[in-house]
Amino acid sequence: MSHKPFDYSKWDNIEISDDEEDCHPNIDKSSWFRMKHRSRVEREDLEEQEKISMRKENEQNSKRIKEIEALLAEIERGGEAAEYEDSEALESEKAELALKIQERLEKIAYMEENRKWNIDNICHTASDKTIISNTKSSDPSELREGSLLSGGNNNTSSSLGGKQSSYKKKNFGPESEKDAVLSYAKFVEHHEAEMDEFLACIDLDDAKKLLHQNGGILLHEHAQSYALLSCLEDEMNGFHEKMKRAAQNSQLLAHITELAVSMNRHPRDVVLPFFHRIQDSNYLSGFQDAVQGFITRIQKRAIDKRKEMDAEAKVNGDKDKLINEDGVQVELSKEERLGPGGLDPVEVFESLPKAMQDAFESKDTGKLQAALESMPLEDAKYHMKRCEDSGLWVSNSSAQDDAPQEEDNVTTDDHPPTPPAPPS
């Protein structure tokens, strides 16, 4: 039995938008390709609209043919349609509509058969399937969940067995800022002791031993962040020697991670090669230079951070803090700030006129006197009474001088004493 061979002729003329054969040398090729592609898309849209229009007309004509057939049937039965309908005219209209429908169908078939093939219509996706591999990632920043739980134990069976990990598996896609913060907080909560023990190491051999024991923790992506923040905190608190030890061990983690990236290996796999390299004097010298540079940056950042904190405190106006004997700011509660009259000096100071606030801040008696004289007597008495009740102003009726006193601020009816500084 002979089979009709497959017709390959439809593949003879494939329309390619980036065909360079008909592109003039003086025309930009990219512009030419874009123009051809746009023209093809517009032509296909017009053809599709034309086919849709012809199909709609065929539907309307088919409905009309059914109506005509119903009328002809009624005429044959001798119904009411026989009185006012012409059967010959209906037959003629039916034949004409059928002819138009056939012409449109032939035109649609011709357009389908002779349409130009291109990359968009030459084929279609019959089925689509995505499979996500469950193999471990080789990214050095990711750790095996089991090794993180077991504190870096090299025994794979013990890492995967036993109690379940408290760390959830990572979702695909970028990690949100909130998730990153929660992940870091959980890491610190579980492994702060191991990190502090490692950062306190003085000898490289001790650091090597801890890296071998707790590599899953110490080489975690959050470990370097913890080390950096610890160095900065130690320097700001005045623990310079402790900061230097932590800085050296922080650079150990950084260099091991960089070596792992260059070798496309997991950081735990390059711990021994790193300590083998560091025995070379040139490599050790470069490592020490990196440590010293890191220490310098930490010291500079500590100074800048202190300035930022001071500036922020000044902007926020920490009026509810007091400097104790050790020079440390101590926050006072509202009850502790209340003056002899039961008023809060912070609230009273903020309610004063601007001129009086400036006088208190500058401790200038003349400014305060001028501010009081510039306002009505009742307002001046009201504000001064509130200052006394809040402790901003200390009145002593037994004073004899108009001059400012260091221990007791004295006022008279004519000259107020030096105002104390606003709450700091």
Integer Cα distance of 316 and 329 in angstroms: 14
Predicted confidence at residue 16, as pLDDT, reads 67
Contact 290, 278 (CB under 8 A): no
pTM for the model stands at 0.38
Phi/psi for 187 (5° steps) reads -60, -45
On the question of pLDDT at 8 being above 90, the answer is no
Integer Cα distance of 419 and 182 in angstroms: 50
CA proximity to 90, closest of 108, 68, 109: 68
On the question of pLDDT at 266 being above 70, the answer is yes
Identity of the residue numbered 124? H
Q: Read off the pLDDT of residues 111-157 as tens digits, 9 standing for 90 and up.
A: 888 877 777 777 777 888 888 776 555 444 444 444 444 444 444 33
Contact 167, 149 (CB under 8 A): yes
Predicted confidence at residue 90, as pLDDT, reads 86
User: What residues contact 75, with CB distance under 8 A and at least 6 apart?
Assistant: 81, 82, 85, 87, 90
For the domain made up of 176-316, give the CATH fold: Methane Monooxygenase Hydroxylase; Chain G, domain 1 (1.20.58)
Q: Where are the alpha helices (DSSP H) in 16-163?
A: 29-77, 81-84, 87-113, 145-149, 156-160
Around Cβ 268, how many Cβ atoms within 10 Å?
A: 21
Identity of the residue numbered 117? W
Q: Read off the pLDDT of residues 299-352 as tens digits, 9 standing for 90 and up.
A: 999 888 888 888 877 766 554 455 555 555 556 666 666 777 778 888 888 888
User: What residues contact 158, with CB distance under 8 A and at least 6 apart?
Assistant: 150
In this structure, which long-range contacts are made by residues 141-150, counting pairs with CB atoms below 8 Å and at least 24 apart in sequence? 141/221, 142/170, 142/221, 143/216, 143/219, 143/220, 143/221, 144/216, 145/169, 147/215, 147/216, 147/268, 148/216, 148/217, 148/220, 149/216, 150/216
Predicted confidence at residue 220, as pLDDT, reads 86
On the question of pLDDT at 163 being above 50, the answer is no
- The separation between the first and the last C-alpha atoms of the chain, rounded to the nearest angstrom, is 106
Task: Give the pLDDT band of residue 410 (cuts 50, 70, 90).
Answer: very low
- With tokens 């702060």, the residue in question is 192
Which helix (H) or strand (E) covers residue 292, if one does? Answer: helix 281-316
Share of the chain above pLDDT 70, in %: 71
Which helix (H) or strand (E) covers residue 345, if one does? Answer: helix 345-351
Task: Give the pLDDT band of residue 356 (cuts 50, 70, 90).
Answer: confident
- Distances in Å between the Cα of 282 and the Cα atoms of 262, 289, 295, 378, 389 are 19, 11, 20, 82, 72
Contact 392, 345 (CB under 8 A): yes
Predicted confidence at residue 273, as pLDDT, reads 87
Mean pLDDT of the chain: 76
User: What residues contact 348, with CB distance under 8 A and at least 6 apart?
Assistant: 339, 386, 387, 389, 390, 392
Q: Read off the pLDDT of residues 52-108 as tens digits, 9 standing for 90 and up.
A: 999 999 999 999 999 888 888 888 887 777 777 788 888 898 899 999 999 999 999
Q: Which residues of 77-90 are buried (b: 16+ CB within 10 A; e: fewer)?
A: eeeebeeeeeeeeb
Q: Read off the pLDDT of residues 381-391 as tens digits, 9 standing for 90 and up.
A: 888 888 888 88
Contact 330, 321 (CB under 8 A): yes
Tallying the residues shown for the chain, one arrives at 424
395 versus 74: the higher-pLDDT residue is 74
CA proximity to 362, closest of 143, 371, 320: 371
User: What residues contact 306, with CB distance under 8 A and at least 6 apart?
Assistant: 236
Integer Cα distance of 217 and 143 in angstroms: 9
Identity of the residue numbered 15? E
- With tokens 């504000």, the residue in question is 383
CA proximity to 78, closest of 88, 90, 65, 87: 87
Q: Read off the pLDDT of residues 192-220 as tens digits, 9 standing for 90 and up.
A: 898 999 999 988 888 888 888 888 888 88
Helix axes 177-199, 223-236, angle to 10 degrees: 70
Q: 279 is written with which tokens?
A: 């025995």
Contact 370, 383 (CB under 8 A): no
Of the listed ranges 83-87, 142-146, 175-179, 264-268, the one predicted with least confidence: 142-146
Q: Which residues of 328-338 are buried (b: 16+ CB within 10 A; e: fewer)?
A: eeeeeeeeebb
Contact 100, 139 (CB under 8 A): no
Predicted confidence at residue 177, as pLDDT, reads 63
